Amino acid sequence: MRVSTMTGAVAADGLKEAACLIPAALARRGNRLAPIGWPPRSAYLHIPFCHRRCFYCDFPVVPLGDRASADAGAPGSTSIAAYLQLLHREIAAAPAGPPLSTVYVGGGTPSLLSVEQLRDLLEALRCRYGLAPGAELSLELDPASFDQQRLAGYLAAGVTRVSLGGQSFSDAVLESLGRRHRRADLLEAAGWLQQAQRNGRLQSWSLDLIQGLPGQTLSGWREQLEQAIALQPPHLSVYDLIVEPGTVFERLEQRGALELPESDLAADLMELTARRLAEAGYGHYEISNYALPGHASRHNRVYWSGAGWWGFGMGATAAPWGVREARPRTREGYAAWLEQAEPAGPPSASSSHLPEAGMPLDELWMVGFRRREGVRLPVPEALRRRWQPFIERGLLIQEGPRWRLRDPEGLALSNAVLRELLAWWEEEGSAVADLPPSP
């Protein structure tokens, strides 16, 4: 195969030139500097493969079975290798830009990748963009999908932060969710991460849990939180269960076989989470995320701040210039899209995009309200009137030009506030899209 030596920025010293070669057919349309604007400094890579689809999952994933592995000759290995070729191709064809400050490898189950495969992906990003000093490189791991030796390999390849998909400490609950791992697997994996952090090989790690599950009680959830705190993860992501279309849970709900917590109990669960984690020293910096000082996810804050990011892979969403673009959700569609896609450039001038952010005004409000500090944006009088009930109850707070939701009561009602925002936007938003940001 003919290759071209033209590449993007490379930050790491001593990289072999051959490692950064790009196929000529890709370089012709991808090797240009990102135009002036707001060059992204973050990238998301989607690894769609997993052992099985969980009952609540509507992500673009490809279940390969419990015996799947990237090892040569193992079930699923050919599919993984073929997909990675497409992913490398997309990275090579992307517009170059400044060195990346954050990278997030998600899925799916990225820990199905071999150490070499992950190292090659990170190397492709280094070749295309470079990695800024102190870059945060996050990797999602599922218990029972990796061992301590593989974890050591991932860390040696450059991973600095791990997100561990625990979801629950109850074997019965894990089985009801369709999860492959069990409590013992979760405790073992968390122990490895604790050790790696103590030894200085891992900067930070996060534990994922789900609240609002079928049959969940306050006392049962309190016990889950205590077990999580005992593991001392520097970061906790606590997600509310959402029954998504097309999932096993949706079919169960339609048959009346899914007993979800009532709204009052769901609010009590969220209040308990916020209160107990605050007592344990965790800051509630975003609706679903809690962190010890210095351990907030830098990559996730990119999404919530309205900044742009590169996205690569099947089903991935990218917003390099504030305009979201989702890749096809199937491998076949993704491969066809790669044949036709042009490198992403900045959007044409439009009054619906704020100059300093590039994201539509309504989206900036929506992501801003997820954060503890809220959002600094103009609020027209018509929208203020819609929000008046929340303001009077102290759930929505104005502090100068900044608006935020009170923690935890206001954050628990964020969907109600956002529904009023969307209703206003549909009726009147386009008429005020040219509003400047608050001074």
Burial 225-242 (b: 16+ CB within 10 A, else e): bebbbebebbbbbbebbe
- Residue 308's pLDDT is what? 87
Burial 184-204 (b: 16+ CB within 10 A, else e): ebbeebbebbbebbeeeebbb
Please give the pLDDT value at position 351: 39
Per-residue confidence band for 416, with pLDDT thresholds at 50, 70 and 90: low
SS3 per-residue string spanning 271-329: HHHHHHHHHCCCEEEECCEEECCCCCCHHHHHHHHCCCEEEECCCCEEECCCCCEECCC
**For 196-205, 280-289, 427-436, which range has the lowest pLDDT when averaged over its residues?**
427-436
Average pLDDT, integer, range 342-367:
55
- State the chain's mean pLDDT as an integer: 83
Quote the CA–CA distance of 39 and 356 in Å, as a whole number: 12
Tell me what percent of the residues of the chain surpass a pLDDT of 90: 61
Report the alpha-carbon distance of residue 399 to residue 379 in Å, rounded.
Answer: 13
**366 pLDDT higher than 90:** no
What is the number of other CB atoms lying within 10 angstroms of the CB of residue 431? 10
CA 71, CA 77: separation in Å to the nearest integer? 6
Query: Does position 30 have pLDDT exceeding 50, yes or no?
Result: no
Q: How confident is the model at residue 384 (pLDDT cuts 50, 70, 90)?
A: confident
- Check whether 409 has a pLDDT greater than 90: no
Tokens 């989206």: give the residue: 363
**Cβ(239)–Cβ(207) under 8 Å?**
no
Question: Mean of the pLDDT values across residues 296-317?
Answer: 90
Q: What is the 3 state secondary structure string of 171-204? A: HHHHHHHCCCCCHHHHHHHHHHHHHHHHCCCCCE
Nearest to 243 by CA among 227, 258, 265: 258
The helix/strand/coil state of 103 is strand
Least confidently predicted of 55-59, 124-128, 413-417: 413-417
Q: Where are the alpha helices (DSSP H) in 289-436?
A: 298-305, 331-340, 361-368, 381-392, 409-412, 414-428
The pLDDT score that the predictor gives to residue 421 is 62
**Residue 421: partners with Cβ closer than 8 Å, 6 or more residues away:** 362, 365, 366, 383, 386
Name the more confident of 352 and 415. 415
pLDDT of 27 strictly over 60 = no
Identify the pLDDT of residue 154.
98
3-state secondary structure of 383: helix
Cα gap 292→269, rounded to integer Å: 21
The residue ranking higher by pLDDT, 193 or 322, is 193
Across the range 325-347, mean pLDDT stands at 85
- At residue 368, φ and ψ (nearest 5 deg) are -65, -35
pLDDT tens digits for 96-119? 899 999 999 999 999 999 999 999
Of the ranges 3-7, 25-29, 136-140, which is most confident?
136-140
Report the pLDDT value the prediction gives residue 391, as an integer from 0 to 100: 80
pLDDT band at 319 (very low <50, low <70, confident <90, very high): confident
Which residue carries 């990346």 as its tokens? 100
Average pLDDT over residues 20-38: 37
Spatial CB neighbours of 268, under 8 Å, sequence gap ≥ 6: 218
Q: Which residues contact 237 (CB under 8 A, 6 or more apart)?
A: 163, 206, 207, 208, 209, 288, 289, 290
At residue 394, the pLDDT reads: 78
| Other Cβ atoms closer than 10 A to 288 | 18
Q: How confident is the model at residue 437 (pLDDT cuts 50, 70, 90)?
A: very low
- Sign of the CA dihedral running 238, 240, 241, 246: negative
pLDDT at 385: 82
CA angle 16-19-24, nearest 5°?
130
